[in-house]
Chain A
Amino acid sequence: MNSPEPVLYEKRQKVHNKRIDGPFRRFKWLVMLVTLGIYYITPWLRWDRGPYAPDQAVLVDLANRRFYMFGIEIWPHEFYFVAGLLIMAGIGLFLVTSAVGRAWCGYACPQTVWTDLFQHIDRLVDGDRNARVRLDNAPWGPAKIARRLFKWAIYLVISLATGGAWILYFADAPTLFRDFFTLEAAPVAYATVGILTATTFVLGGFMREQVCIYMCPWPRIQTAMLDEKSLIVTYKDWRGEPRGSVKKAEKNPGMIGDCIDCMQCVQVCPTGYDIRNGPDIACITCGLCIDACDKVMADIGRPRGLIDYATQEDCEAEAAGHPPKPVWKTLLRPRTLIYTGIWAALGFGLLFALGARTHTDLTVAADRNPPFMLMGDGSVRNSYTLRLRNMESRPRDMRIAVEGLPGAVMWTDTVGREQAAGSHVVNVPADAIRTVRAYVAVPAGARPQDFTFTLTSLDEQRESDSVETGFSAPGEQP
């Protein structure tokens, strides 16, 4: 065959990233500490809601269909709050992307945080880059197998802790934690932990940067969102090229750029990308190459910032000899302001809706078969199924009343006809819906007409709700 074999598949280049210290690395540590802290501590926070509701600050109670978040309790019919929060999170990502580029990818994304964690485990167990490359190339033997098993055991413990913490959001954390180890937890808890442990182990321990480069949709969306005004990690080729050693630069003054081709930027990169090739989906803009390059530049006495956070526009301006734009101009531009506006409007809208909602609700379903009933004394009776919703975490007395139906009396499934009246007080249990059968009778000669059921809570809140419904009777509506 005289043609070269076409290669459609590229074998993965293993990433053995080197340890580096610097401002961005320290920021990454901080973000990891905060995000992992939030993830692991949140389920253990307590929040007093009285005797009728759980005391876990953040709880997704799927069994009872309640969502608790500190002072907020959400019922299934209010799920739009959760939808709203998710939309806010989405707009928030847009906002962050337009202001500071792929900051989510570089610092806060769980895939990034856990990959970073696992890479540190590699470093602790096998040593830094050179030692790891050596070990990786070494033939399999007892020593290598033992080391690998040890490392994977640590991976497994971390994965287990990751999956284990997840389920604590869905049940009372201390109880579930104990039950989990005494093998008394629900099978679904073990299944969830098993699945999440497996995904963490595989995605964090082995797939790592491949998730970002090949699997995740977010980088694709971001490539459409970034523009020449977005902050990205940039190699200033006008300053770095052509590359050459310090000695070569001394021999040919003015002919050689600042980049000495030391490969430090590639070796520290968690995805193994060479930033000098320009912006790419593989660059998650974590800034570790900036730390590495700045260090080298300091060592050889050249100004920092050969690789730096900059917009493409700035780079071009700088290359042409103009001073860089101040950072606030990058952050405050119509696009970021519009995103901030949408985000804040959503937030205020949700807050307003949250404050304006009542904790009392009434629904009415009139019996359709038979629609009305002639009673012995000639009066006409209609039956209704009322659902009284009490969203407070305490039992409440509520008054149901019939309004706008002359002469009407009402009795219920628990109050007999002997005590029929225009209104009744019903006790509704804490955080529950109570179903009441209501029988409404109008004296002889009743005509079909509309009227209103009103529900009023008999506590200091005096919340009320009313529902208009129809009263059926023989004849035409007047």
Chain B
Amino acid sequence: MGNKRIDEPTGTEFVGHEWDGIEELDTPMPRWWLWTFYLTIVWAIAYVIAYPAWPLVNKGTEGLLGWTSRGQLAQEISAADAARASFREQIAVTDIDKLPGQPDLMQQAVAGGAAAFKIHCAQCHGAGGGGLPGYPNLADDEWLWGGDLKSIEYTLVHGIRQHDDPQTRQSAMPAFAGVFEPAQLDALVDHVLSLSGKGPANAAGAEIYTANCVVCHGPAGEGDRAQGAPNLSNAIWLYGSSREEIARQIERPRLGVMPRWADKLDPATIRMLAAYVHSLGGGEETPAMAAATAGTPAATDGANEQP
């Protein structure tokens, strides 16, 4: 370039552009800046080759490294499973009655059960185990089949009214539709309500009750857990406590079912679920357990946490 012009004060070359007498000087980018820029280009090319980058018609390019976010998630989940493996193994080989004697293990079991409950149980029993009409409340102190750790675990393993499991929890309330006159049904409902103090006694109803109901529900309506017969004398009603709801349950009883979880979950998860349900506040002690822990109150006194 022959007509190179230099700006006097700075000694820098002019580019040749001029706007209203203001001229641009030729000050190139710093060399290091350019190199950094070229480096980012190289990096981008390498990235496109190594990682998924281009969206195509059906799927994107996969990249040489074979990385996927799903794969990374699977890796992280298996790492988390591996970290929990020792607790799961211990829980799997520990009899559920022995869990309360090992506070650390019990704490892990309750925490693991809480997570599994949200996935498998909350749909019917509610997020906090509070139940819904027809789906028992797991946090109160009323249990159809028993509320100690062992009974809860048994119910989970074998389910309720699962016909292909001979050991399943099985009970059947007969349907009395057409058996009673309307007046008889009214009297019987009166009597059932009176069992829990909700209404006056009804002698005719009591007679019908004695003839038809007492075998399972007991003379005072106390129920029978061995048969899964509900307690009629307390404040808890699975299918409602109005006259209509009680009458309907006598004539056309609804019978709930619960899946046989042994088909779907491993023993450790079932054990953890039982521990969690037991911890919701209604858990009962098995007689043997009560005897074992009565002498050593300190044994259960250790669940704590380092913040």
- What is A's interface to B at a CB cutoff of 8 Å? 1-3, 5-6, 64-65, 367-370, 373-378, 381, 383, 413-414, 416-418, 426-429, 432-435, 437, 439, 444
Bound CA span A2–B9, Å: 10
Cβ-defined contact, B11 with A432, below 8 A: no
Cβ-defined contact, B11 with A429, below 8 A: no
Cβ-defined contact, B235 with A432, below 8 A: no
Which residues on B sit within 8 Å (CB–CB) of A368? 128
Bound CA span A244–B63, Å: 78
Which residues on B sit within 8 Å (CB–CB) of A434? 303-305
B234 at the interface (CB under 8 A from A): yes
Residue of B nearest to A390 (CB): B304
Q: Which of A370, A416, A429 contacts B139 (CB 8 A)?
A: A370
Which residues on A sit within 8 Å (CB–CB) of B129? 370
Which residues on B sit within 8 Å (CB–CB) of A426? 301
Per-residue contact bits, chain B 169-194, to A (CB 8 Å; 1 contact, 0 not): 00000000000000000000000000
Cβ-defined contact, B304 with A432, below 8 A: yes
Q: Count chain A CB atoms within 10 A of each CB in B8, B9, B11 and give the residue with the most.
A: B11
Which residues on A sit within 8 Å (CB–CB) of B137? 370, 373-374
Which residues on B sit within 8 Å (CB–CB) of A435? 303-305
Bound CA span A82–B128, Å: 41
Cβ-defined contact, A375 with B141, below 8 A: yes
A428 and B139 contact, Cβ closer than 8 Å, known pairs A369-B126, A369-B130, A376-B236: no
Cβ-defined contact, A5 with B279, below 8 A: no
Which residues on A sit within 8 Å (CB–CB) of B300? 414
B127 at the interface (CB under 8 A from A): yes
Cβ-defined contact, B126 with A370, below 8 A: yes
A3 and B306 contact, Cβ closer than 8 Å, known pairs A369-B128, A373-B281, A427-B301: no
Cβ-defined contact, A413 with B304, below 8 A: no
Given contacts A370-B126, A429-B304, 9 further A-B contacts (CB under 8 A): A3-B8, A5-B11, A6-B11, A370-B137, A373-B281, A375-B140, A376-B236, A437-B279, A437-B281
Which residues on A sit within 8 Å (CB–CB) of B10? 6
Cβ-defined contact, A367 with B304, below 8 A: no
Closest beta carbon of chain A to B268's beta carbon, Å:
21
Q: Count chain B CB atoms within 10 A of each CB in A373, A374, A432 and give the residue with the most.
A: A373
Bound CA span A417–B278, Å: 13
Cβ-defined contact, B141 with A432, below 8 A: no
B6 at the interface (CB under 8 A from A): yes
B285 at the interface (CB under 8 A from A): yes
B269 at the interface (CB under 8 A from A): no
B153 at the interface (CB under 8 A from A): no
Cβ-defined contact, B130 with A373, below 8 A: yes
Closest beta carbon of chain B to A475's beta carbon, Å:
15
Cβ-defined contact, B11 with A383, below 8 A: no
Between-chain CB contacts (< 8 Å), 20 pairs = A3-B8, A6-B11, A64-B306, A65-B307, A368-B128, A369-B127, A370-B128, A370-B137, A375-B140, A376-B142, A376-B231, A376-B235, A413-B303, A416-B285, A417-B141, A433-B304, A433-B305, A434-B305, A435-B303, A435-B305
Q: Which of B9, B235, B305, B306 contacts A378 (CB 8 A)?
A: B235
Bound CA span A180–B281, Å: 50
Per-residue contact bits, chain B 271-307, to A (CB 8 Å; 1 contact, 0 not): 0000000011110010000100000000011011111
Closest beta carbon of chain A to B42's beta carbon, Å:
28
Closest beta carbon of chain A to B131's beta carbon, Å:
8
Which residues on B sit within 8 Å (CB–CB) of A432? 304-307
Per-residue contact bits, chain B 1-17, to A (CB 8 Å; 1 contact, 0 not): 00000101111000000
Residue of B nearest to A435 (CB): B305
Which residues on B sit within 8 Å (CB–CB) of A65? 307
Residue of B nearest to A2 (CB): B8
Bound CA span A442–B171, Å: 33
A373 and B307 contact, Cβ closer than 8 Å, known pairs A1-B11, A413-B279: no
Cβ-defined contact, B303 with A3, below 8 A: no
Bound CA span A462–B133, Å: 48
Residue of A nearest to B122 (CB): A369
Bound CA span A439–B129, Å: 15
Closest beta carbon of chain A to B176's beta carbon, Å:
25
Closest beta carbon of chain B to A265's beta carbon, Å:
37
Which residues on A sit within 8 Å (CB–CB) of B11? 1, 3, 5-6
Which residues on B sit within 8 Å (CB–CB) of A3? 8-9, 11
Which residues on B sit within 8 Å (CB–CB) of A439? 281
Closest beta carbon of chain A to B188's beta carbon, Å:
22
Which residues on A sit within 8 Å (CB–CB) of B307? 65, 432-433
Bound CA span A432–B303, Å: 12
Closest beta carbon of chain A to B195's beta carbon, Å:
13
Which residues on B sit within 8 Å (CB–CB) of A428? 304
Closest beta carbon of chain B to A8's beta carbon, Å:
10
Bound CA span A285–B115, Å: 65
Q: Which are the 10 A-B pairs with shortest beta-carbon distances?
A: A370-B130, A376-B234, A369-B128, A378-B235, A434-B304, A433-B307, A376-B142, A414-B300, A439-B281, A370-B128
Bound CA span A404–B306, Å: 31
Closest beta carbon of chain B to A187's beta carbon, Å:
19
Closest beta carbon of chain B to A473's beta carbon, Å:
13
Closest beta carbon of chain A to B110's beta carbon, Å:
9
Closest beta carbon of chain B to A408's beta carbon, Å:
15
Bound CA span A439–B11, Å: 85
Cβ-defined contact, A373 with B140, below 8 A: yes
Closest beta carbon of chain B to A69's beta carbon, Å:
20
Bound CA span A444–B196, Å: 13
Bound CA span A370–B11, Å: 80
Bound CA span A383–B281, Å: 8
Which residues on A sit within 8 Å (CB–CB) of B301? 414, 426-427
Cβ-defined contact, A1 with B6, below 8 A: yes
Within 8 A of A (CB), among B12-70: none
Cβ-defined contact, A375 with B128, below 8 A: no
Closest beta carbon of chain B to A63's beta carbon, Å:
10
Bound CA span A414–B11, Å: 86
Which residues on B sit within 8 Å (CB–CB) of A5? 11
Residue of A nearest to B305 (CB): A435
Closest beta carbon of chain B to A232's beta carbon, Å:
37
Bound CA span A222–B243, Å: 86
Which residues on A sit within 8 Å (CB–CB) of B280? 383
Which residues on B sit within 8 Å (CB–CB) of A6? 9-11
Residue of B nearest to A378 (CB): B235
Residue of A nearest to B237 (CB): A374
Residue of B nearest to A368 (CB): B128
